[in-house]
Amino acid sequence: LHKLMTNSGFQSVKRLVFYRSLCEIPDNISLLSSLKNLCLCYCAIIRLPESIKDLPKLKVLEVGECKKLQHIPALPRSLQFFLVWNCQSLQTVLSSTIESSKRPNCVFLLPNCIKLDAHSFDAILKDAIVRIELGSKPLPATELENEDASLENEDGDFYYFQLARNGKICYCLPARSGKVRDWFHCNFTQSLVTIELPPNLLCFIFYMVVSQVQSCNIG
């Protein structure tokens, strides 16, 4: 695999999937300058390489059922969808806040990653706060057009990019007492809630707590 990454033809690959076939990703994965989508399922990998942050076009990172995974390093700023599901050994995720010039839309899901440490949890929450604050500020029309152009049909009708186009900022984390609740003015335990919103609203933020996520398909 290390030799394959250096192949000039392979460096034009846009989507890469590993299924039950990988124990380690080589550091030179950063050579894949065209890579947009990286997926690892049921692999015996313990950590992702630090060089993953140097993938300039990576938009989707999906890691599922990798039971030995413990560490995910800082992610590239181009990333818009991050899903890590049923990786119950995962402890560390080094999230980093986005540049202020970038559009904040992001889907960032870690269902059933129950061993995530407190430092990683706080880093991901900080990232969410920055995105929410940016998302509440209208961007110039030219910047919106440029961002929308990067999400055009070359990626098809990929559900996650539809979320990004629609301005969604979505995070899913293991629950920790008091961390998220402090942001919000109202808390409810009913299954049906009606809230009267003020006029000229730029954004609406909500969260919910579920006992267990049964599926990685979180709408």
pLDDT digits (tens, 9 = 90+) for 36-57: 999 999 999 999 999 999 999 9
Q: Is the pTM of this model over 0.85?
A: no
Average of per-residue pLDDT across 93-111 = 70
Q: Identity (one letter) of the amino acid at 218?
A: I
Cα 114–119–122 angle (5° rounding)? 90
Return the half-sphere exposure (C-beta side, CA atoms, 13 A cut-off) of residue 211: 0
More confident residue, 218 or 20: 20
127 falls in which pLDDT band (50, 70, 90)? confident
- For 196, residues 6+ apart whose C-beta sits below 8 A from its C-beta are none
Residue 207, token pair as written in the block:
């969260």
Cα–Cα distance list, 103 to 59, 130, 140, 147 (Å) = 13, 11, 11, 7
Strands (E), 65-137: 71-72, 81-85, 92-93, 106-109
